[in-house]
A and B are shown apart, each in its own frame.
Chain A
């Protein structure tokens, strides 16, 4: 078991190195210049050169990369020129909003998906199953910026229940201001989770131990919840873990539309302003988050199901 963990950890190292190179190079290959962007274009090239030098942006690329890696090893991700703050400080400030948004979004997805998937699985291809499939496919096809606006129109403009923009960092306002964003984000996950959970449940419900449970005279309700659902949840966790990268990407849109001061909207803004340090750090952190979450999922799986490590 320990050998398996170690092997998985070691395998993550080249992934992280590759990730750091890609995160660093991508934004540098995009045309544009952070200083020119920051100063807004009404100064002289000589003045831009001076500021660029002040910020150490005139050093060769390989040296800037090494500086970045050296920083990562020392838990220092550099200094954001557009925000005028150390990146670690920015991550602490703005990471909270994204963390709550992701958690709330996943929560919404689970609360919607589990009952619908269970309901669909009882009678595959029955009218409930068809209806759920139609609704989830529709939801999946909606771009999140559009869904966000529709939700804002209904719950903000028509019903006046929830704010359409802005963020409150404290409870219970946090809950209120994140509700529409979390629904928008969660909906992008619902279709995938329902499809996976449904097919796993159908498989589970047709297995021999379910037949045995039926033969023992257990109620359908008990069979479904106790045996069917429980044995299918593993698949759901895997799907959510695998989609976490997708969700993190989704925060960029959702946070921008609802004006949540999180890391997603910050990534968009910093990419537009060519804040190299910040873009590199954010892309790297998002990548690391995906790697860590998939590692943890693997470990939990290995602990729960010893067959996994053989594979």
Chain B
């Protein structure tokens, strides 16, 4: 992946390349479980309470939370950071996460109250990753942008040396609050965008860990006795968006026929080295998802697909296009497989390989028929709220640029977005099921993040967002 251009968490040009570096340096108030579940655990805040109306979140900052220079983390720092989070001019990459954010009130040096304009059930998740990282107010104000060249955080590591575009060396933060951790004295991140050279670096022993193991190389690593693989469940999926401005995609029979015509089992085996999961949702794997018993995935059923097509307004099929990102071997294969499978039900697909820049633009302009809009994309949080707003909000991104709208699902989702935990647990599988039946987009496969490690690397836990803080990791 591409390395960061700034270690300001709100400048996220490199995506996970930035996130994974910032994850070592900073912490949010609450954070995803470092062992990979979709629960939240205490971060800088060791306890918190939520007012009954859901509009006030009171956080207590743990007494031993310190910056890497030894100064204590204060309520002023938290307010300063969250106000940046709430400012769409600074929080340009994911301003939607600050939905409902009003202000942060400092109670005393260790207590703050976050005020909301509306109940936001996902609030803790929305601040529980890089957009919600906390940084020290005074040095940021004094040094401005320069602070982020060698920032100070309260995470397990701090920056020792940074060669932009190439590598970052981190050393242990001696003031980290978890006693005795991290175990590693030094960590070096090498940013290697080329899949082959990244994998060679591990195989040659130059590095001990790599992420983004390409699906084509999974079997090679499985049979290599010097390394082991780790598959992290994350909200990562391969999803085809359908443009509902095209008349054929407004026909439910057509959309369901497209679903039934895909042999996902064999795609998983042939293209994803068996690492994927057959999806029972149009969205990636998220918290509150119903089980396969509650929400059944589409089976591969060509007869049924043909029958649905004959029932549709397009019994003799139609011609369409599928755009997919250039530069990834597996997208080309996947596109070819889909083309031949849909061909069997009379849907004649022309494939268009395009670079990401062109595709993003066409996606936004809704200038496509079928598209994999972003290479390897994920939900930024483990709960369905981010994607829910993107897909269902009629005033938002036009059904995430599909032009699909379903008022009934939107109503349910609004209940979900402000509901109690019990309401959310009960409502989400219903939304998930209604959406899967409607199939406004086609989720081809849920996929893990794949890391590979040298055998002497122990406990390289990765959280549900694919990031690791390496605080439990050690070398045997």
Residues of A that sit less than 8 Å from B by CB: 30-33, 36-45, 47-48, 50-51, 54, 82-85, 93-94, 148-149, 152-153, 156-157, 160, 163-167, 169, 256-261, 265-266, 269, 271-274
Asked if B198 and A165 sit within 8 Å, CB to CB, the answer is: yes
1/0 per residue, CB under 8 A from A, across B354-367: the answer is 01111011111000
- B2 touching A269, Cβ below 8 Å: yes
Chain B, Cβ-Cβ closest to A152: B200
Is B41 part of the contact surface with A, judged by Cβ < 8 Å? no
Given contacts A39-B93, A41-B374, A50-B88, 11 further A-B contacts (CB under 8 A): A32-B360, A41-B360, A42-B93, A43-B94, A47-B88, A48-B364, A84-B11, A156-B200, A164-B201, A165-B200, A166-B190
- Give 25 A-B contacts (CB < 8 Å), ordered by A residue: A30-B357, A31-B358, A31-B361, A33-B360, A33-B361, A37-B357, A39-B93, A40-B15, A45-B364, A47-B88, A84-B11, A84-B145, A148-B197, A156-B204, A163-B201, A164-B204, A165-B197, A166-B167, A166-B201, A167-B166, A256-B194, A259-B193, A260-B166, A271-B357, A272-B355
CA of A42 to CA of B373 in the docked complex: distance in angstroms? 11
User: Taking the nearest CB of chain B, how far is it from the CB of A160, in angstroms?
Assistant: 6
Could you tell me the distance in whole angstroms from the C-beta of B42 to the nearest C-beta in chain A?
Answer: 28
Contacts of B360 in A (CB 8 A): 32-33, 36-37, 41
Chain B interface residues (CB < 8 Å from chain A)? 2, 5-6, 11-13, 15, 88-89, 92-96, 145, 163-167, 190-194, 196-198, 200-201, 203-206, 355-358, 360-364, 373-374, 380, 386, 390, 396-397
Q: Contact between B373 and A41 (Cβ–Cβ < 8 Å)?
A: yes
Q: Are A94 and B88 in contact (CB under 8 A)?
A: no
A165 cross-chain contacts in B, Cβ below 8 A: 190, 192, 194, 197-198, 200-201, 206
A78 to B: closest C-beta gap in Å: 16
Distance in angstroms from B97 CB to nearest chain A CB is 10
**Which label, helix, strand, loop or mixed, suits the secondary structure of the B interface?**
loop
5 closest pairs, A vs B, by CB? A261-B165, A32-B357, A261-B166, A156-B204, A157-B204
Whether A31 lies near B362 (C-beta < 8 A) is: yes
**Is the beta-carbon distance between A42 and B356 smaller than 8 angstroms?**
no
What is the bound-complex CA distance between A167 and B11, given in angstroms?
Answer: 24
Is the pair A257, B397 in contact by a Cβ cutoff of 8 Å? no
Pair A163/B197 contact, Cβ less than 8 Å: no
Q: Please indicate the chain B residues that have their CB under 8 angstroms from the CB of A166 in the complex.
A: 166-167, 190, 192, 201, 206
Partner of A261 from B94, B164, B361 at Cβ < 8 Å = B164
Q: Which residues of A contact B164 (CB under 8 A)?
A: 83, 93-94, 261
Contact A42 B197 (CB under 8 A): no
Whether A257 and B165, one on each chain, are in contact in the complex, defined by CB atoms closer than 8 angstroms, is no
Q: Which residues of B contact A44 (CB under 8 A)?
A: 396-397
B396 and A272 contacting across the interface, CB-CB below 8 Å: no
